[in-house]
Amino acid sequence: MSGGLLVAGTTSDAGKSVLTAGICRWLHRQGVKVAPYKAQNMSNNSAVVVGPDGRGGEIGRAQAMQAAACGLAPDLRFNPVLLKPGSDLASQVVLLGEAVDTITAGTFRHLRPRLAETAYEALAELRDTYDVVICEGAGSPAEINLRAGDYVNMGLARHANLPTIVVGDIDRGGVFASMFGTVALLDPADQALIAGFVINKFRGDLGLLQPGLDMLRRVTGRPTYGVVPWALDLWLDAEDSLAYGRVLGRPAAPHGTDWLDVAVVRLPRISNATDVEALATEPGVRVRLTIEPAELAAADLVVLPGSKSTVADLAWLRETGLADAVTAHVAAGKPVLGLCGGFQMLGRAIHDQVESRRGSVPGLGLLPIEITFDPRKTVRQSVGTAHGGLPVRGYEIHHGYVSQTDPTLTPLLTGDDGVGEGAVLGTVHGTHWHGAFESDGFRRWFLTEAARLAGRTGFQVAPATSFAAARERSLDLLGDLVEEHLDTDALWHLIETGPPAGLPFIPPGPPPS
């Protein structure tokens, strides 16, 4: 067979990514050869995939997570177009893994036909290879100002004749109006592909919700395929929900007597912030994303994460007082960790004629290094060791490289080529490697060292925490939610047979009573 389904949403962060992953895991459990797909993703959270030519390329991290739900290695075709915002007005375009251009809203129109053609070709190849392809939309299909050039929502559904389900987040409120309005704003040909709905993040008595579900079916002629309950454990690989002040996950009680408090600076153009999720899987480690200098002062460990706009975000750190809070944290003898762009900010100077084109700007001066930006982007998977031979795996995505350094500076990591990577100076640590803390031994060593530097003598890492196992539990939970709370027979029928015939057209405005 060559079945397919499009999971659309009433909004961003409605649950498209996790529902797509859950459906993929459910089908994988049934022995179906299934693959995920998102024609275009706008995200600075990306994963590195080795392409057919052996070179590293980028796809959205959510699609890498969905690939794992399918039991597959990530494939560049799973996310053929990735847009990485560098500012409110411009984004880097990554096409089949390779950065090819930087665009604005005005120039995007000229590139869009090429992007759509590439996206459609990738989907056709996947449908020739796999039994089922579960596609994820972007934003909302009712973004009618963008419909003319759309190739990721209803434009994709029309092109491939995909039955479409619309997921809405009831926790935000107004879910019934959002679902009705999503359908009513579409033209007849698009509406003919909207098969029904899924409600996400429900808390409470399902009986109280039933009258709304019944009325939604009456006014749209479409069923609700299920109501997914709120699940606190679904937080790994989040794409849109890194909110200010949020504590990641549900920290388990400490293995020792002390907690370790980690404050992650929520940069305006934060990139691959999912790095810190591995820290949050450890019992007794509380990880919070913040923009408050006071929270940095109170923390044991401060993390500067990756950035898509390193120089601009460094300026923001200074404007908000966060830069002073970081340097004060180091002056107090407490540990700081910089990851990729955050590592670059820790140096003496950044020379950038590529990303920001601001030339040479001073860094925070906490490491004796200088960073120079190169037009050629480093995109690769990395393997090496740390602290006496602990194995570490990670990946690199950056334009900046260390152009000057103190030769006596201790590297944080050593690549399998024997070359040192990153730096350690007193309490300051930095690396260009993303994903390194998913390596359990390295993560335990680093947290133990951070606790020692912070004076948390009662903190102990748990001996058997596995990040890979935590991710698998999360994917299995998604599969369980789909199996237990969705009408899987009806979903399977959609996948096999396509859009239902005879769906009614809903004109704009309320239907006649």
pLDDT digits (tens, 9 = 90+) for 355-401: 888 999 999 999 999 999 999 989 999 999 999 899 999 999 999 99
Task: Identify each DSSP E strand in 54-190 by its residue range.
Answer: 56-60, 81-85, 90-95, 98-104, 132-136, 164-169
Is 236 in contact with 277 (CB distance < 8 Å)? yes
- Phi, psi angle pair for 408, to nearest 5°: -90, -5
Is 9 in contact with 139 (CB distance < 8 Å)? yes
28, 329, 432, 434: the active-site residue: 434
Is 369 in contact with 409 (CB distance < 8 Å)? yes
Q: 136-166: per-residue pLDDT in tens?
A: 999 899 988 888 889 999 999 999 999 999 9
Largest separation between any pair of C-alpha atoms in the chain = 79
Structure tokens at 429: 């640590």
**Full 3-state SS string of 295-317:** HHHHCCEEEECEECCHHHHHHHH
CA–CA dist 382, 511 (Å, integer): 57
CA–CA dist 24, 10 (Å, integer): 21
All CATH 3.40.50.880 domain ranges of the chain, comma separated, are: 260-461
Backbone torsion region of residue 205, taken as left when φ is above 0, otherwise alpha when ψ lies between -120 and 50, otherwise beta: beta
CA–CA dist 223, 165 (Å, integer): 10
Residue with tokens 């973004």: 143
Nearest to 126 by CA among 114, 118, 494, 47: 118
Cross-strand bridge partners of residue 48: 58
CA–CA dist 311, 220 (Å, integer): 49
Quick one: CATH architecture of 260-461? 3-Layer(aba) Sandwich (3.40)
Active site residue 351: no
All CATH 3.40.50.300 domain ranges of the chain, comma separated, are: 3-234+472-497
Average pLDDT over residues 399-417: 93
Q: Please report, as a single letter, which amino acid is at residue 390.
A: L
Nearest to 274 by CA among 156, 417, 434: 434
70, 340, 398, 485: the active-site residue: 340
What is the average pLDDT value for the chain, to the nearest integer?
A: 91
Average pLDDT over residues 60-80: 94
pLDDT at 250: 76
Residue 85 has pLDDT above 90, yes or no: no
pLDDT at 1: 58
Active site residue 340: yes
Assign domain 3-234+472-497 one CATH number from 3.40.50.1970, 3.30.450.20, 3.40.50.720, 3.40.50.300.
3.40.50.300
pLDDT at 513: 44
Q: 87-138: per-residue pLDDT in tens?
A: 777 888 899 888 888 888 778 888 889 999 999 999 999 999 999 999 999 9
Residue 243 has pLDDT above 50, yes or no: no
Q: 471-483: per-residue pLDDT in tens?
A: 999 999 999 999 9
Nearest to 260 by CA among 48, 511, 455: 455
Question: Which of the four pLDDT bands, split at 50, 70 and 90, describes residue 509?
Answer: very low
